[in-house]
Structure 1
């Protein structure tokens, strides 16, 4: 069933609102749309100038999914778009027409497509749609078999110490799945500078504690260790946005944390204390505001590598 709704002056056609997209918790498309509309004030500042890659699950999280980068062709005329050079993974095209989620109706439109996850790069476009140098550094902490978010918290603590020593001002969030992600606002010399710095940092942590940390991707190396994935700084790659839903059975959210919560995990707090669903996240935002406040933090120059 299709129906037309009006959101902030925009007409939008929505459909199948009662369709269950997360069967394990009975979470429907209507609830997905409602969450993205309500979380918009803190989500939009983190994605508004970043071309969006959608992960769409039209049959729900138990069905088939697909990534969609060249998504502007589906969009209403009021959704902003930008033409950017195609990354190497998109064969047969020199450019992609990508969406910029800039307003609440844009989020409602994408949620209606069952775009459960929103992924963005670590760079923005300017007013003319031209890609700028990366303005964020990200280190994705992915626990291997036999490890979990507690081990990630230990590595995040060490990363924070090193980033602060290098003059950076890091923030941290859950991935919404198993791990943590540490970010810092930066200025850099060239497009590859963040990757060089992040790789060197991951290699140094591995050198210090090879029994706990790994910087290489091979699965055979990862049991009992935390992967410090530095490769997300490649300008062709994207990372799940803060406050994005994840296509996991419990409808969890990639949620900004206080560093005190990371320390609590290191001190024995229940790992479930950092697994958040939509209602939890909305309550946290009402209480704490945007904990992923990179715009208000020191934007430091990355050390030369």
Structure 2
């Protein structure tokens, strides 16, 4: 017998939520209802990370033991109250087809996406305006990806070196885990071109790779990566997206891409110490607030 749908009203919109008891993370028995609960409760911190940003979703309709798929275009049956925006596929030529994205600006849209088993939420470093016009990037992101046996502890060591370079240029950076083995550093900036942010991030990555060759690599060549941390500056290409802060990950257990304090980065001695699940992240936000709050308001200029 099919699971009976549950109808709820959120901010004036009626949603039909289905299969709430379905287990999406079999290893720990974490259900779709628990996914919906997490996204509903984390929304005040998560939504500012998604607002005005075309959203790429990674969905696991059969749970994380099943086959996932990335989704950019709006799915069939999208409610008419969901905000969408149609833009040229980033990095494409004029004659390539456009993409109609979902833009998750509000709680009903976030809950609707969670009901579709959109566990992972990925966003670009640029936004769209109120009429859908594409704006220039307002974030610079460097992805720190460890090549085994390097791990999150090594990423933290590199993050501190990278923070020092940002500091030297008068820039403040914020750190978060990827929800997996790596992490990302974010620098909120005044809107500038993707070419400019990419070139600046590439320059810093190259400097660290030169100064710390035993620890850092800036080349994408896989043969160079074992035991080192790749500084992936290419995340600043307008065609790229990065996992949003506070998004779940589709791993064996429900980990979360979690903002960190610099004290936590400085004190990292075990990778597992900076791995957080939904309940822990909700507790952290209650205790520490949204550690990424300033990213929505601070504009810094690249040197």
TM-score tier after normalising by the smaller chain length: over 0.9
Cα drift, residue 86 of structure 1: 1.1
Equivalent residue pairs, number: 300
Cα drift, residue 188 of structure 1: 4.8
Deviations 1:187-230 (A, max 9, x none): 25423111111111111110111121111112211101000011
* CA distance in 2: counterparts of 1:186 and 1:57, whole angstroms: 34
* CA distance in 1: counterparts of 2:93 and 2:252, whole angstroms: 29
Deviations 1:130-180 (A, max 9, x none): 111100000010110111011000100011111111121110000000011
Unaligned runs of 5+ in 2: none
Q: How does 1:262-277 map to 2 (within 5 A)?
A: 262-265=265-268, 268=269, 270-277=270-277
Q: How does 1:43-192 map to 2 (within 5 A)?
A: 43-71=46-74, 73-88=76-91, 93-192=96-195
SS in 2 for 1:63: coil
Aligned to 1:280: 280
Contact 2:259 2:292 in 1 (8 A): yes
Contact 1:169 1:297 in 2 (8 A): no
Deviations 1:7-33 (A, max 9, x none): 222101111111111011111111101
Contact 1:17 1:30 in 2 (8 A): yes
Assess, with a 3 A threshold, how the Cα gap between structure 1 residues 92 and 64 changes in structure 2: closer, same or farther: farther
Cα drift, residue 295 of structure 1: 3.5
* CA distance in 2: counterparts of 1:4 and 1:189, whole angstroms: 44
Cα drift, residue 235 of structure 1: 0.3
Assess, with a 3 A threshold, how the Cα gap between structure 1 residues 108 and 213 changes in structure 2: closer, same or farther: same
Aligned to 1:20: 23
Assess, with a 3 A threshold, how the Cα gap between structure 1 residues 43 and 189 changes in structure 2: closer, same or farther: closer
Aligned-pair Cα RMSD in Å = 1.7
TM-score (norm 2): 0.95
Unaligned runs of 5+ in 1: none
